[in-house]
C-alpha cells in the first residue's frame, strides 16, 4: 500500500477534485489548501512527502511560498505546477530545489508520473546555490561587520550554517573554502564580542539565554504537557542538529527552537553541571563543594548532575515532580533504556544524558580510523548522522513518539575543528584541555586567547590564589613549548571544545510533540 502524503496547494483546488480522486484511488493521501499561508501552517504541523504547488496564486506566489517551505523543511519534495512557460520562472523554481515542474493543464497521469519519477535536477540546484551564495556573500560580510547584539550573532550564525549545508551538497571546493574563510573571520569578530560582553552576561546584565537558565526558563515550562523526556546530547553542534533533525521530524512536530549560549569553558565539566544546577561553576563550588572537583583533582567531574538537578528543582519550588535521571555512556545502556521506555510513562520528567557525540569527537584525536572518516565538518556531520540513525538514541526517540512522550532535545556545548596552534606556558597542575587552561602563572598570547586573571569575575572557581583562565579564540589550540611541533601536528584538524567560537557557544534547545 502506498503511504505517500501529498499537500496540493492551488487557489482553484475545487476544479481538481477528479485529479485528487484519481490519486486517492491509487492510495495516495491528498490534503488540500487554497493559498500559500495556509500551506505553510499545514507543513509546520504535519509531515508531507510531496507538495504540489501552484505557481500563480493571489497573496503569496508559488515561488514565495516555495522559499518559505524550504525554510521550514529544506528536504521536502515540491512539484511546481503553473500556466507560465517563462524560462526564468522555471530556472528559479528548479534552482530552489523543486523535484519537478509541470505546465497547466495537467492530466492525472502526468501527476502520477511525476510522483513516481521524483525528479531532481542536481546541476541546476548546484548552479543556483553557487550563484545565490555569491550574491549573498557581500550581505553576510556587511552584516557580520555590523553585529552589535547577541541576537544578531545567533541569526548570523544560523544563516551561515544554512549556507554551509547547502554548499556542502555540491562538489565545489572553492566555494567551501570561501565560506570557511568567512566563518573564520566571523569567529574572530565573535571572540571580540564575547571578550567585551561575557563578564556582564554571567553577572546578569543584558544576558542572552545561558546554560544556567535552561531548566528554569525553558524545561520547567514544558512540564504542563506530561510525560516529558528531556535529552541532553553531549557536545552537539548546531550543524549536527540540522543534520539529524529531519529523521526526528518524521516522528515529531517541532514546537520551539531556542538558540542559547553555553557558558565558558565550553566543556562537560563546566557547562553541563551549570545547565543542571542553574548555577555558575563558582557558585556550585561555594554552595555544594561535595559535588565539585577542580581540573587538577582526581576523579570524575560530572558524577553529581542528578544531585545538582535535584537541588535546582527544590530551589525552584517545584512540588511533587516525579522524575528520573539516566546517563547513557555505552551501547548496552542505550539499548536497555529503549526497551524499558514504557515504564517511564509514570514519570512527569525523564532526563537522559547521551554521551556518544562527545566520545566520538574525543576519539578522533586517538583513532586514526576516525581521523580518516571525519577530516572536515562535512564528513563529521555525515558521521554523526550515520551514528544517529543507527543508534539506540534514535530508537528511544521513535519509541517515545509512539508512547506519546513530549520531547525536549538540547546539548551542553559544541565543538570546533582546530587548525592553528598557539604556545602556552604553565606548571604541572595546569588543566589538560587544548581549548582552555586554568592554573597558576599561565603565559599565553593575548591575540590568540581570551584571558581572565581573576576567574571570580566570570564566576569560575580559583584553583589557587593566583590562578587564571585562558580560553582559545577562533580555531586556535594551546600547545606547550616542549615537543611543540609534534603535538601541534598531532592535534591539528581534530575536534576540540572549551574555548570561544560560534560552534562551541551557540547551541540549540528544541521542544517537540509526537505526531
Q: Tell me which residue of 302, 299, 286 sits closest to 455, measured CA to CA.
A: 286
Report the chain's C-alpha Rg in angstroms.
25
pLDDT tens sequence across 317-369: 988 899 999 999 888 888 999 999 999 999 999 999 998 765 565 555 555 66
Number of other residues whose CB lies within 10 A of the CB of residue 9: 28
**Residue-level pLDDT at 361:** 58
Task: Quote the CA–CA distance of 422 and 420 in Å, as a whole number.
Answer: 7
Residue 86 predicted with pLDDT over 90: no
Task: Quote the CA–CA distance of 198 and 189 in Å, as a whole number.
Answer: 14
pLDDT tens sequence across 196-215: 999 999 999 999 999 999 99
Domain chopping of the chain, boundaries:
5-119, 125-202, 211-415+504-514, 417-497
Cα 441 to Cα 413, 432, 450, 453, 459, distances in angstroms: 28, 15, 15, 10, 20
Task: Supply the CATH classification number for the domain 211-415+504-514.
Answer: 3.40.720.10
Percent of the chain with pLDDT over 70: 91
The three cell numbers of residue 331 are 551501547
Class of domain 5-119: alpha beta
> Strand, coil or helix: what is 118?
coil
> Strand, coil or helix: what is 77?
strand
**Residue-level pLDDT at 430:** 83
**Residue-level pLDDT at 61:** 87
pLDDT tens sequence across 386-404: 999 999 999 999 999 999 9
Residue 119 predicted with pLDDT over 60: no
Residue 228 predicted with pLDDT over 60: yes
**Residue-level pLDDT at 121:** 46
Mean pLDDT rounded to a whole number for the chain: 89
Residue 97 predicted with pLDDT over 90: no
Q: Can you say whether the dihedral through the CA atoms of 107, 13, 89, 83 is positive or negative? A: positive
pLDDT tens sequence across 34-62: 999 999 999 998 889 899 999 888 889 88
**Residue-level pLDDT at 229:** 98
Residue 169 predicted with pLDDT over 80: no
Amino acid at each position: 500500500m502506498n503511504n505517500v502524503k501529498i499537500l496540493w496547494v492551488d487557489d482553484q483546488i475545487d476544479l481538481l477534485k477528479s485529479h485528487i480522486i484519481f490519486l486517492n484511488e491509487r492510495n495516495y493521501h491528498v490534503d488540500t489548501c487554497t493559498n500559500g499561508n495556509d500551506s505553510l501552517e499545514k507543513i509546520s504541523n504535519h509531515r508531507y512527502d510531496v507538495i504540489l504547488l501552484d505557481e500563480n496564486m493571489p497573496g503569496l506566489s508559488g515561488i514565495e511560498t516555495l522559499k518559505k517551505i524550504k525554510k521550514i523543511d529544506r528536504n521536502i519534495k515540491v512539484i511546481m505546477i503553473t500556466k507560465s512557460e517563462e524560462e526564468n520562472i522555471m530556472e528559479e523554481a528548479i534552482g530552489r530545489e523543486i523535484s519537478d515542474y509541470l505546465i497547466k493543464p495537467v492530466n492525472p497521469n502526468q501527476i502520477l508520473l511525476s510522483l513516481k519519477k521524483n525528479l531532481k535536477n542536481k546541476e541546476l540546484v548546484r548552479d543556483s546555490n553557487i550563484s545565490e551564495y555569491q550574491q549573498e556573500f557581500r550581505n553576510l560580510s556587511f552584516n557580520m561587520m555590523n553585529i552589535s547584539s547577541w541576537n544578531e550573532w545567533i541569526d548570523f550564525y544560523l544563516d551561515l550554517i544554512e549556507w554551509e549545508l547547502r554548499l556542502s551538497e555540491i562538489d565545489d571546493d572553492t566555494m567551501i573554502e570561501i565560506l570557511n574563510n568567512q566563518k573564520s573571520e566571523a569567529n574572530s569578530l565573535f571572540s571580540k564580542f564575547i571578550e567585551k560582553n561575557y563578564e556582564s552576561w554571567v553577572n546578569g546584565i543584558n544576558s542572552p539565554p545561558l546554560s544556567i537558565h535552561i531548566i528554569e526558563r525553558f524545561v520547567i515550562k514544558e512540564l504542563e504537557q506530561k510525560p516529558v523526556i528531556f535529552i541532553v546530547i553531549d557536545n552537539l553542534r548546531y550543524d549536527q542538529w540540522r543534520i539529524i533533525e529531519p529523521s526526528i521530524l518524521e516522528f515529531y512536530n517541532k514546537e520551539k527552537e531556542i538558540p542559547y549560549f553555553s557558558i565558558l569553558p565550553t566543556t562537560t565539566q563546566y557547562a553541563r553541571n551549570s545547565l543542571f544546577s542553574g548555577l555558575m561553576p563558582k557558585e556550585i563550588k561555594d554552595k555544594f563543594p561535595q559535588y565539585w572537583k577542580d581540573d587538577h583533582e582526581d576523579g570524575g567531574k560530572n558524577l553529581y548532575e542528578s544531585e545538582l538537578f535535584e537541588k535546582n528543582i527544590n530551589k525552584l519550588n517545584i512540588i511533587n515532580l516525579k522524575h528520573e535521571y539516566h546517563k547513557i555512556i555505552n551501547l548496552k545502556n542505550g539499548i536497555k533504556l529503549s526497551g524499558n521506555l514504557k515504564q517511564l510513562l509514570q514519570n512527569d520528567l525523564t532526563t537522559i544524558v547521551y554521551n556518544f557525540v562527545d566520545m566520538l569527537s574525543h576519539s578522533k584525536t586517538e583513532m586514526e580510523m576516525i581521523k580518516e572518516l571525519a577530516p572536515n565538518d562535512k564528513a563529521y556531520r555525515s558521521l554523526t548522522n550515520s551514528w544517529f540513525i543507527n543508534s539506540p538514541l534514535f530508537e528511544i526517540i521513535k519509541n517515545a513518539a509512539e508512547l506519546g512522550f513530549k520531547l525536549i532535545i538540547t546539548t551542553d556545548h559544541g565543538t570546533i575543528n582546530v587548525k592553528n596552534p598557539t604556545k602556552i606556558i604553565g606548571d604541572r597542575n595546569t588543566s589538560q584541555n587544548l581549548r582552555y587552561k586554568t592554573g597558576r602563572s599561565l603565559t599565553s598570547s593575548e591575540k590568540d586567547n581570551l584571558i581572565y586573571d581573576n576567574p571570580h569575575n566570570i564566576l569560575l572557581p580559583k584553583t589557587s590564589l593566583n590562578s587564571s583562565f585562558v580560553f582559545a579564540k577562533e580555531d586556535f589550540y594551546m600547545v606547550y613549548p616542549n615537543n611543540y611541533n609534534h603535538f601541534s601536528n598531532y592535534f591539528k584538524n581534530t575536534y576540540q571544545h572549551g574555548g570561544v567560537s560560534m560552534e562551541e557557544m551557540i547551541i540549540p534547545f528544541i521542544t517537540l510533540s509526537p505526531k
